[in-house]
Amino acid sequence: MKNEQEILVKRIEYLCEEKGISKYKLALKASVPVTTLDNIMKSKTVNPGLFTVVKICNGLGMSLADFFDCDEFHSIEADTE
């Protein structure tokens, strides 16, 4: 199973492709520095902050709930320990 970081990256890539925007354009629309988005996409930033993810969702024109509403995120089991 993919880890959460890989799922996040794949979700952003999928949505950019679906909406026909580049990662650079997403960074501009989301008001997120290009380097920040690039570091997320290259898994250099392992745990991006909630506000950054919210900005990315805004740049994609979707809510946080819609962003996480996919099978890959639903399959992540909560760590209850």
How long a stretch of residues is the chain?
A: 81
- Residue 74, pLDDT score: 81
Pick the more confident residue, 80 or 26.
26
Pick the more confident residue, 47 or 13.
13
Residue 80 has pLDDT above 60, yes or no: no
Query: Quick one: pLDDT band at residue 71, thresholds 50, 70, 90?
Result: confident
pLDDT per position as a tens digit, 43-62: 999 889 999 999 999 999 99
- Residue 1, pLDDT score: 44
Domains in the chain: ranges and CATH: 4-74 (1.10.260.40)
Do residues 26 and 37 make contact, with C-beta atoms less than 8 angstroms apart?
A: yes
Report residue 20 CA to chain centroid gap. Answer: 16
d(CA 81, CA 71): 23
Start-to-end CA span in the chain (Å): 19
Please tell me the least confidently modeled range out of 4-8, 23-27, 55-59.
4-8
